[in-house]
Chains A and B, each alone.
Chain A
Amino acid sequence: GQQLNQSPQSMFIQEGEDVSMNCTSSSIFNTWLWYKQDPGEGPVLLIALYKAGELTSNGRLTAQFGITRKDSFLNISASIPSDVGIYFCAGLTGANSKLTFGKGITLSVRP
């Protein structure tokens, strides 16, 4: 089946630093998504990407849809303590497909 690969499992950064996360797959996806899960809550959609090469920003977050349609990255600039959480990438292969999730990256931000 389709798999989305996220690594490392955990990242530790200092407040104010930028951080970048990758998501890769051996399969092509037509839509890439990035979710964030705060402790004790369900995931919340951060950014959706619909076209190969697309670069989209949401505040301090920037995400790109890889031109091969097999990868995506998320960048967080000037991190703050509330950026702590688990970041999931997810993908859709078509209009009637179900979301496939990566295993997530747990981000810790040291004050």
Chain B
Amino acid sequence: NAGVTQTPKFQVLKTGQSMTLQCAQDMNHEYMSWYRQDPGMGLRLIHYSVGAGITDQGEVPNGYNVSRSTTEDFPLRLLSAAPSQTSVYFCASSYSTGAVGYTFGSGTRLTVV
């Protein structure tokens, strides 16, 4: 099925560990982005990419790295996990930055202990 696929769905990390959240889309979308969702805070933009090889910071980028080597994939790396990074992470894609039709993945629930 066409869409945005996120893996893993759940993850528990210890403080200081690193890991990569995977995001892949098969719709040939140029624009991809990562959000975190915390209770009462809505969706906050972490990093985004307007095409392969191009990434930029969003509202809350600290502690996260991204790269975009292909159109399909946009992984999010946590370099040294902290309890403050406990959240639900969503990847979204669309055919352009200002496009209306963002498609979201089903999320990764991350707990850092």
Contact = CB atoms under 8 A, between A and B. Distances in A.
Contact of A99 (B4, B41, B102, B105): B102
A41 B40 contact: no
B107 interface: yes
A37 B107 CA distance: 11
Interface stretch (B11-19, B68-76, B77-85, B92-100): B92-100
A1 B100 CA distance: 20
Given A41-B107, A98-B58, A103 B40 contact: yes
Nearest to B90: A42
Give the size category of B's interface with A: 20 to 34
B27 to A, nearest CB: 14
Contact of B43 (A92, A94, A95, A101): A101
Interface of B: 4, 33, 35, 40-45, 48, 58-59, 90, 92, 96-98, 100-102, 104-107
Interface of A: 1, 9, 31, 33, 40-45, 48, 88, 92, 94-99, 101-104
Max count, chain B CB within 10 A of own CB: residue among A42, A45, A48: A42
A98 B106 contact: no
Given A40-B107, A42-B107, A88-B43, A98 B48 contact: yes
26 contacts: A1-B59, A33-B100, A40-B106, A42-B92, A42-B105, A42-B106, A43-B43, A43-B90, A44-B104, A45-B101, A48-B100, A48-B101, A88-B42, A88-B43, A92-B100, A94-B98, A95-B96, A95-B98, A98-B48, A98-B58, A99-B102, A101-B35, A101-B42, A102-B42, A103-B40, A104-B43
